[in-house]
């Protein structure tokens, strides 16, 4: 009986190429940095030698080995990042040129060739439009050097951003294109490609229960009927105005609400805040110098009374999970969301996620979350009132949410990824070295 190809740490190494990466302040502008960081940590923890090539903090070493040498961070273009200390996307075009120009040769000479000598398959995964050209170049250079059949190449779209800059014909020819949700898959059909869906994930720790003393305090701070929370970039896609209008509507009908919000650095904030004030909502900005949980909760208390607390400080994972869990609902109500990681994180924390209905494959309406079908704020208001009147339903949704979230930990996603890779290796007739069954 012929055995199936099996990808294991014995016969495979991984390379993840991304602009964003594990360096918390410099390299993480959004969900991509978190994704790359978590995915590569899990790969390494499962025993795979994993390289991450990303635009790292220029003050950190160019190369760093973690997890007993299994996780190797390659901070790229640091000579350029030196000129741009703010973050990964400052000096974007300068970094992009250098990335496309120099990463392919490095991947071939320093990663693929040695791995092939050790009879290993190399899986190269590129993330987002920034890496599309580099991935094409890597494929070309490997092909030119007779190594292309020793390598599996996947390129992943987390978002539709800058799709117009991608040479889809060449990318589709040189790599296996993947994306994070069925919604994205459908969006991309229009580009003449049929991406494979490999879902995003969350780290296991997101499911851990926290019994911190201060966790009990959160709900007592707010005297309002409802506490809502929303986090995301200041972008019309996130439907900030819909959320603000819903809060104003609740206020009008006598349901007092405290709406905690945390945006990014985008200027669209101005429009949203203007709209909130125009609707008669009292907005306060909250800043915390040392934002541990205690200081943050004290700051919330001091800022009241207010309808909206605009949080202007970094929210730690612990604080976020507290807010996710103990708010009445978290508004992840985007009009267009490729995946919607926030919704999944809320569910993992046992919170009530109110999502849009685009890329959030993990939601089942009124089973494990609330799903909006329109951009009408009244829909939001109606569901919030429903939850308030049906506490048992709310409890059930919170319970189901955690059960669903367990299926989306990176460990689970990794299994899915490996199965897909084995299928791709089989169809592309990839040379698996001497140990194709991973024994």
Q: Does the CA dihedral 360-361-362-364 come out positive or negative?
A: positive
Among 13, 20, 98, 127, binds other proteins (CB under 8 A): 98
The least distance separating other proteins from the CB of residue 144, rounded to whole angstroms, comes to 13
Decide whether 84 or 229 has the Cβ nearer to other proteins: 84
With CB under 8 A, what is the number of residues at the site for other proteins? 11
The least distance separating other proteins from the CB of residue 82, rounded to whole angstroms, comes to 8
Decide whether 84 or 339 has the Cβ nearer to other proteins: 84
The least distance separating other proteins from the CB of residue 117, rounded to whole angstroms, comes to 24
**Is the CB of residue 87 less than 8 Å from the CB of residue 59?**
no
Among 8, 89, 94, 375, binds other proteins (CB under 8 A): 94
Selected range binding other proteins among 94-102, 316-324, 364-372, 417-425, rule: CB under 8 A:
94-102
The least distance separating other proteins from the CB of residue 140, rounded to whole angstroms, comes to 11
Among 97, 173, 189, 314, binds other proteins (CB under 8 A): 97
Decide whether 97 or 189 has the Cβ nearer to other proteins: 97
**Is the CB of residue 11 less than 8 Å from the CB of residue 121?**
yes
Residue 94 DSSP symbol: H
Among 3, 68, 69, 93, binds other proteins (CB under 8 A): 93
Q: Is 330 exposed, middle or buried (0-12, 13-18, 19+ CB in 10 A)?
A: buried
The least distance separating other proteins from the CB of residue 105, rounded to whole angstroms, comes to 8
Q: Does the CA dihedral 291-293-297-302 come out positive or negative?
A: negative
> Is the peptide bond preceding residue 305 cis, with omega within 30 degrees of 0?
yes
Helix (H) or strand (E) run with residue 237 in it? none
Spatial CA neighbour of 315 closest among 293, 298, 299 = 293
Q: Is 47 left (phi over 0), alpha (psi -120 to 50) or beta?
A: left
End-to-end CA distance of the chain: 16
Spatial distance between the Cα atoms of 232 and 263, rounded to a whole number of angstroms: 5
The least distance separating other proteins from the CB of residue 83, rounded to whole angstroms, comes to 4
Binding mask 50-89 for other proteins (x = CB under 8 A): -----------------------------xx-xxx-----
Identify residues 100-159 at the interface with other proteins (CB under 8 A): 101
Decide whether 14 or 84 has the Cβ nearer to other proteins: 84
Identify residues 192-231 at the interface with other proteins (CB under 8 A): none
The least distance separating other proteins from the CB of residue 95, rounded to whole angstroms, comes to 9
Contacts of 281 (CB under 8 A, 6+ apart): 244, 247, 248, 251, 259, 307, 308
Contacts of 198 (CB under 8 A, 6+ apart): 156, 178, 179, 180, 413, 416, 417, 420
91 binds other proteins (CB under 8 A): yes
Contacts of 301 (CB under 8 A, 6+ apart): 221
Decide whether 135 or 293 has the Cβ nearer to other proteins: 135
Identify residues 294-333 at the interface with other proteins (CB under 8 A): none
Decide whether 101 or 376 has the Cβ nearer to other proteins: 101
Spatial distance between the Cα atoms of 30 and 21, rounded to a whole number of angstroms: 10
The least distance separating other proteins from the CB of residue 53, rounded to whole angstroms, comes to 18
Decide whether 99 or 259 has the Cβ nearer to other proteins: 99
Helix (H) or strand (E) run with residue 286 in it? strand 283-286
The least distance separating other proteins from the CB of residue 384, rounded to whole angstroms, comes to 48
Which spans of this chain sit near other proteins (rule: CB under 8 A)? 79-80, 82-84, 91, 93-94, 97-98, 101
């Amino acid at each position: 009986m012929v055995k199936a190809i099996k990808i294991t740490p014995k016969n495979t190494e991984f390379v993840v190429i991304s602009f964003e990466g594990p360096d918390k302040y410099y390299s993480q502008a959004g969900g991509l940095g978190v994704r790359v960081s978590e995915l590569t940590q899990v790969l390494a923890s499962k025993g795979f030698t994993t390289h991450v090539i990303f635009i790292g903090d220029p003050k950190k070493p160019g190369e760093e080995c973690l997890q007993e040498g299994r996780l190797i961070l390659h901070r790229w273009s640091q000579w350029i990042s030196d000129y741009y200390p703010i973050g990964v996307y400052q000096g974007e075009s300068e970094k992009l040129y250098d990335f496309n120009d120099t990463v392919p040769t490095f991947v071939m000479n320093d990663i693929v060739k040695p791995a092939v000598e050790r009879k290993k398959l190399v899986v190269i995964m590129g993330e987002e439009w920034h890496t599309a050209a580099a991935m094409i170049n890597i494929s070309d250079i490997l092909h030119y050097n007779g190594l292309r059949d020793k390598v599996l190449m996947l390129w992943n779209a987390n978002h539709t951003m800058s799709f117009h800059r991608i040479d889809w014909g060449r990318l589709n020819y040189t790599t296996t294109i993947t994306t994070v949700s069925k919604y994205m898959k459908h969006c991309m059909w229009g580009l003449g490609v049929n991406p494979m869906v490999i879902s995003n994930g969350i780290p296991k720790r997101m499911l851990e229960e926290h019994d911190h003393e201060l966790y009990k305090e959160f709900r007592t701070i707010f005297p309002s009927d409802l506490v809502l929370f929303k986090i995301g970039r200041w972008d019309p896609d996130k439907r900030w105005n819909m959320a603000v209008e819903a809060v104003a509507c609740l206020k009008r009908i006598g349901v007092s609400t405290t709406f905690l919000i945390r945006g990014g650095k985008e200027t669209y904030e101005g429009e949203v805040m203007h709209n909130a004030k125009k609707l008669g909502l009292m907005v306060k900005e909250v800043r915390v110098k040392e934002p541990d949980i205690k200081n943050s909760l004290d700051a919330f208390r001091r800022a009241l009374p207010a309808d909206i607390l605009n949080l202007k400080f970094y929210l730690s994972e612990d604080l976020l999970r507290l807010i996710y869990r103990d708010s009445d609902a978290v508004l992840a109500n985007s009009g267009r969301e490729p995946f919607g990681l926030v919704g999944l994180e809320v569910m993992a924390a046992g919170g009530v996620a109110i999502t849009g209905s685009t890329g959030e494959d993990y939601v089942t309406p009124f089973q494990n979350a609330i799903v909006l079908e329109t951009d009408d704020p009244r829909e939001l208001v109606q569901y919030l009132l429903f939850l308030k009147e049906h506490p048992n339903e709310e409890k059930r949704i919170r319970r189901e949410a955690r059960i669903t979230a367990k299926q989306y930990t990176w460990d689970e996603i990794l299994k899915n990824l490996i199965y897909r890779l084995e299928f791709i290796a089989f169809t592309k007739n990839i040379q698996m070295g001497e140990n194709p069954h991973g024994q």
